[in-house]
Structure 1
Amino acid sequence: MARTFTHLILILHIAILVPSSIAADTSFLRNRHHGSRPTMVLPLYLTAPNSSTSALDPRRQLHGSESKRHPNARMRLHDDLLLNGYYTTRLWIGTPPQMFALIVDTGSTVTYVPCSTCEQCGRHQDPKFQPDLSSTYQPVKCTLDCNCDNDRMQCVYERQYAEMSTSSGVLGEDVISFGNQSELAPQRAVFGCENVETGDLYSQHADGIMGLGRGDLSIMDQLVDKNVVSDSFSLCYGGMDVGGGAMVLGGISPPSDMVFAHSDPVRSPYYNIDLKEIHVAGKRLLLNPSVFDGKHGTVLDSGTTYAYLPEEAFLAFKEAIVKELQSFNQISGPDPNYNDLCFSGAGIDVSQLSKSFPVVDMVFGNGHKYSLSPENYMFRHSKVRGAYCLGIFQNGKDPTTLLGGIIVRNTLVMYDREQTKIGFWKTNCAELWERLQISIAPPNTEVKNSTKSLEPSVAPSMPQHNVPPGEFRIAQITIVISFNISYEDMKPHLTELAGLIAHELDINTSQVHLLNFTSAGNVSLARWAITSRPYADNFSNATAMSIIDRLAEHHMQLPDTFKSYKLVEWNLEPPSKSNWWQRYYMVVGLAFVLTLLLGLSIVGMFLIWKKRQQSVHSYKPVDAAVPEQELQPL
């Protein structure tokens, strides 16, 4: 049975701060649950009758030379497109700062987090925002230009998404920080403080949404209005087996071979591109270019998982793919509810998929061509090893072409709003900073503020670290973890703790080594070395950072015995500087063998003489005391 689509209206009740606000939130359906694949739906109503596109505001037209002087916010992405259905970044709000994991969404225009006053909010990754604990929080009071909660006399917002989940609450203003990798100082911004959420928003692990779309409440528009960043941002999603990635708020120097497509902000608030042709294995699909220009045209949306084509384009694309893969067996998809097009026999090595699947090219109106790798239009079959399924679907009868996150995996996408163009550059997003270390200035280790009132709201320093430039294999990960437990209570459980850490990080216990252990009062500090397995390959950068992420995001579940923990510091060492544990074991092993041979020759006769006098002795492991040292400041 063919996949069906339901078209729904996106209902909005937006708090308008100025008359020109865009009265639409453009977030599409997201695949929030593993195995589910909701259809793509576009809203039917975009703007209020007399609204204008705020992206055309002359205040935002920055000259190139001026924009280059602006700092940018350099931030990491977390999670995975297909497993989680979204990518998140970290944002700190308030004084002192409160951290939140927010879905990066180019189709949304409001950033919101659950509020402590929320009457109906799910259980998310981080605690709710507490306005009363922030000395810099201010409610956005009612004016003639916003929808008002008469009881509180505060501006309100309401969002209803196409999958019928909703978010509503009040608008507040506070200092927002972007982390210590950012050159951009904390800034005051308006955001939503949720009081009610339903549907997928209620059940998702992420705290809320970071709106990057065009609109006066968008984070990007607010930063550009303040003239603190240039009118551009970039996203880089991880690959099929990696996840994570990077993002930049503000401009960067584009790589010389980046491919650009024109984006028309007048047509709609969506980030669109002028797609004209699609080629499969070098052969152009016999389609009129207008097929990609219907309704909203070709739209990019970071909050949508897959890609969707109009019926005519999809049928031609599907036929071309099937023709190129005649040597593979077609099999059923992982979910019986969908008639997925899947192929078996391609192997499990993602780097070799281009030998099995054809290259797909997108050709833009300027004649430039951007090539898609197999991971940009196929997804891994979750039940059949070495099988893959087509990640591009038919968009019902809707003439819009929607390109979701799968299209831009391992691709740096630059949304240059100032120059009305979008750039694409194929890269390994897990190694983006190393590849762009010339194009992007190194991050400041300290965030400086020009306004004293902002100083308390600098995002708390993330664990200090050292990533070896240009090194993509890691032999040892050194971590420092603090525990809210005293030295006396922790000491008897150190061996147990090493095993628990190994279990939670999916590594062997032999890879976890305690280097030192200090304590002060009810806080203990333990330094560990996590090494690669003997005779095995070293960690990849992606694997090492995945381990760091699990620790930093508190995904490690430990018994109550160890109270709460915090990753304080981490360091990655390449093979040339590490593997000392392996070398240590080899030296000790060799010394042991030599000593054993020598010992046997000396004591052989003694053992024979003592044969009749042998007795069995019980031995207990030596409890080597760790000297108690002064605990370093956390």
Structure 2
Amino acid sequence: MHMAKVPHRSSLVTLVTLLVVALLLHPTSSTSRKTLHHHHHPSSNGFRVMLRHVDSGKNLTKLERVQHGIKRGKGRLQRLNAMVLAATSTPTPTPTPTPDESLEAPIHAGNGEYLMELAIGTPPESYPAVLDTGSDLIWTQCKPCTQCYKQPTPIFDPRKSSSFSKVSCGNTLCSALPSSSCSDGCEYVYSYGDYSTTQGVLATETFTFGENEVHNIAFGCGEDNEGDGFEQASGLVGLGRGPLSLVSQLNEPRFSYCLTPIDDTKKSVLLLGSLEHAKGAKEVTTPLLKNPLQPSFYYLSLEGITVGETLLDIEKSTFELGDDGSGGVIIDSGTTITYLETKAFDALKKEFISQTKLPLDKSGSTGLDVCFSVTSGTSQVEVPQVIFHFKGGDLQLPAENYMIGDSNLGVACLAMGSSSGMSIFGNVQQQNILVNHDLQKETISFVPTSCDQL
């Protein structure tokens, strides 16, 4: 195989040195609390929302957090794939349901890894919600509840809010719902595959983000909500590309988020309406693709992957979005690790192992596919660099965005896995990168940034 010659390099394989702090993490308990400083306000046309990781505040190692995320994400991965499969198979004509028949709803990705803080109603009631770039509907649990799960804040009571109003059946947002019926206003069922669903009435409310009040945001007032994975939050905010999502309703063609490392106590940030530009950073901008069969998802054009200095031998079609809506690569804030189509993952795994001068850990105890044994107390390990080649630019990932270590267990693992069909660019790989979505230009740009400095 022809090896590319790179000038000014002494060795053929570029090794990334991981400092002990990045790789071999001990859970630290910090007693000192930093006081929050007032952030500079973004331009008048946008606002910021603080995000926190669902496992923040728990005394977990980075590896444990990733393992929790993978467990939560297994169902999500299946759901995302199921959604695509459901959309690609020829639909059977559905008979018009009689009012008492249960509604069949399409599947949406549920759960997520980051929670956003907002408030709903007048007076505003605080409402931590799962941030989900893989679905559209905004919802919270509402009284009177026929079926509600235990949530961290009191259940929203529409009767106590002066700004609550039901959406009429003739409203375009009612028809934008994947499945709705009409009796007492516009009623919806929104299901997240498996058994997770939310069901209730579509209404509009005043939402408060920090100091910013936004009126007439349509949301699902969920009176029957079932499923696991929502318990850390009082609902969900969809940031997908469909008409019901928060971004679409705010009519904001731009939003960005910046996720701090998952073992970090520092809060991540979501910026709605204004694009931050980190000064002097190398920006990679890539076109955002649309899948007509999955219009909510953000698809990227991934063209290849390099490990060390070896461009992996992956067929060009592997990451391409098929005409039938299958395949492709989505970027998702709610999936923890990156999942690559099996053939691509196998190529990456083989090359990564051959270039890493460490013994393989074959115990399979971590739940991750590729792990190496590290003698406990090792201060640093060397791993090959990983570059994702997107159409429009190359994103070189910092080592801590794909290697996760635990010195007590004496392992260092690759934070990636395999999937059949669709690939997903997950949030471990997005740490400390400002991810700008520009829906007008239909691009996503990646700007390496210290997210806690934004």
TM-score of the pair, normalised by structure 2: 0.71
- Matched with 1:497 is none
Structure 1 residue 220 and structure 2 residue 220: aligned?
A: no
- Matched with 2:401 is 376
Structure 1 residue 198 and structure 2 residue 232: aligned?
A: no
Aligned residue identity for 2:224: V
- Matched with 1:246 is 269
Q: Does the residue aligned with 1:124 lie in a helix, a strand or coil?
A: coil
Once the 2 structures are TM-superposed, how far is the Cα of residue 187 of structure 1 from its aligned partner? Answer: 2.8
Aligned residue identity for 1:160: S
Once the 2 structures are TM-superposed, how far is the Cα of residue 296 of structure 1 from its aligned partner? Answer: 4.1
- Listed as ranges, the matches of 1:406-445 within 5 Å are 406-431=428-453, 433=454
Aligned residue identity for 1:358: P
- Matched with 1:130 is 157
Structure 1 residue 261 and structure 2 residue 297: aligned?
A: no
Say whether the 8 Å CA contact 2:403–2:414 is kept in structure 1. Answer: yes
Q: Does the residue aligned with 1:414 lie in a helix, a strand or coil?
A: strand
- Listed as ranges, the matches of 1:566-585 within 5 Å are none
- Listed as ranges, the matches of 1:353-502 within 5 Å are 356-366=382-392, 368-381=393-406, 384-395=408-419, 398-431=420-453, 433=454
- Matched with 2:310 is 283
Pick the aligned partner of 1:310 from 341, 344, 350. Answer: 341
Structure 1 residue 177 and structure 2 residue 177: aligned?
A: no
Say whether the 8 Å CA contact 2:113–2:130 is kept in structure 1. Answer: yes
Once the 2 structures are TM-superposed, how far is the Cα of residue 254 of structure 1 from its aligned partner? Answer: 3.1
Say whether the 8 Å CA contact 2:376–2:408 is kept in structure 1. Answer: no
- Matched with 2:126 is 99
**C-alpha distance after superposition, 1:17-62 (max 9, x if no partner):** xxxxxxxxxxxxx989567251523212449999xxxxxxxxxxxx
Q: Does the residue aligned with 2:169 lie in a helix, a strand or coil?
A: coil
Say whether the 8 Å CA contact 2:112–2:130 is kept in structure 1. Answer: no
Aligned residue identity for 2:159: D
Structure 1 residue 38 and structure 2 residue 74: aligned?
A: yes
| Pair 46,249 (structure 1): closer, same or farther in 2 beyond 3 Å | farther
Instruction: Say what the alpha-carbon RMSD is for the aligned residues.
Output: 2.9
| Pair 388,158 (structure 1): closer, same or farther in 2 beyond 3 Å | farther
Structure 2, gaps ≥5 residues long:
1-64, 92-110
Q: Does the residue aligned with 1:322 lie in a helix, a strand or coil?
A: helix
- Matched with 1:112 is 139
- Cα distance in structure 1, aligned partners of 2:240 and 2:377: 36
Say whether the 8 Å CA contact 2:116–2:129 is kept in structure 1. Answer: yes
| Pair 347,298 (structure 1): closer, same or farther in 2 beyond 3 Å | farther
Say whether the 8 Å CA contact 1:32–1:86 is kept in structure 2. Answer: no
- Cα distance in structure 2, aligned partners of 1:31 and 1:38: 12
- Cα distance in structure 1, aligned partners of 2:356 and 2:89: 47
| Pair 159,201 (structure 1): closer, same or farther in 2 beyond 3 Å | farther
- Cα distance in structure 1, aligned partners of 2:180 and 2:312: 52
- Matched with 2:354 is 323
Report which of the two structures shows the higher radius of gyration computed on alpha carbons.
Answer: 1
- Cα distance in structure 2, aligned partners of 1:311 and 1:299: 15
| Pair 85,380 (structure 1): closer, same or farther in 2 beyond 3 Å | farther
- Matched with 2:62 is none
- Cα distance in structure 1, aligned partners of 2:299 and 2:345: 19
Once the 2 structures are TM-superposed, how far is the Cα of residue 344 of structure 1 from its aligned partner? Answer: 2.7
Say whether the 8 Å CA contact 2:146–2:224 is kept in structure 1. Answer: yes
Structure 1 residue 340 and structure 2 residue 369: aligned?
A: yes
**C-alpha distance after superposition, 1:487-543 (max 9, x if no partner):** xxxxxxxxxxxxxxxxxxxxxxxxxxxxxxxxxxxxxxxxxxxxxxxxxxxxxxxxx
Structure 1 residue 156 and structure 2 residue 187: aligned?
A: yes
- Cα distance in structure 2, aligned partners of 1:386 and 1:430: 29
- Cα distance in structure 2, aligned partners of 1:148 and 1:378: 44
Once the 2 structures are TM-superposed, how far is the Cα of residue 318 of structure 1 from its aligned partner? Answer: 0.5
Q: Return the structure number with greater helix share.
A: 1
- Matched with 1:189 is 217
**C-alpha distance after superposition, 1:271-326 (max 9, x if no partner):** 01111010011211011222111424111111112211111101000001111223
Once the 2 structures are TM-superposed, how far is the Cα of residue 378 of structure 1 from its aligned partner? Answer: 3.0
| Pair 149,264 (structure 1): closer, same or farther in 2 beyond 3 Å | closer
| Pair 31,128 (structure 1): closer, same or farther in 2 beyond 3 Å | farther
- Cα distance in structure 2, aligned partners of 1:415 and 1:330: 38
Q: Does the residue aligned with 1:215 lie in a helix, a strand or coil?
A: coil
Q: Which has the higher contact order (CA 8 A, sep 6+)?
A: 2
| Identity over aligned pairs, percent | 30
Say whether the 8 Å CA contact 1:124–1:207 is kept in structure 2. Answer: yes
| Pair 290,35 (structure 1): closer, same or farther in 2 beyond 3 Å | closer
Say whether the 8 Å CA contact 1:86–1:305 is kept in structure 2. Answer: yes
Say whether the 8 Å CA contact 2:181–2:188 is kept in structure 1. Answer: no
- Matched with 2:257 is 235
Q: Does the residue aligned with 1:316 lie in a helix, a strand or coil?
A: helix
Say whether the 8 Å CA contact 1:333–1:389 is kept in structure 2. Answer: no
TM-score of the pair, normalised by structure 1: 0.51
Once the 2 structures are TM-superposed, how far is the Cα of residue 208 of structure 1 from its aligned partner? Answer: 1.2
- Matched with 2:37 is none
**C-alpha distance after superposition, 1:559-597 (max 9, x if no partner):** xxxxxxxxxxxxxxxxxxxxxxxxxxxxxxxxxxxxxxx
Structure 1, gaps ≥5 residues long:
1-29, 51-83, 434-634
Equivalenced residues, count: 351
Say whether the 8 Å CA contact 2:206–2:213 is kept in structure 1. Answer: no
- Cα distance in structure 2, aligned partners of 1:47 and 1:126: 39
| Pair 334,429 (structure 1): closer, same or farther in 2 beyond 3 Å | farther
Say whether the 8 Å CA contact 1:276–1:290 is kept in structure 2. Answer: no
- Cα distance in structure 2, aligned partners of 1:35 and 1:219: 26
Aligned residue identity for 2:162: S
Say whether the 8 Å CA contact 1:332–1:340 is kept in structure 2. Answer: no
- Matched with 2:105 is none
| Pair 154,378 (structure 1): closer, same or farther in 2 beyond 3 Å | farther
| Pair 414,150 (structure 1): closer, same or farther in 2 beyond 3 Å | closer
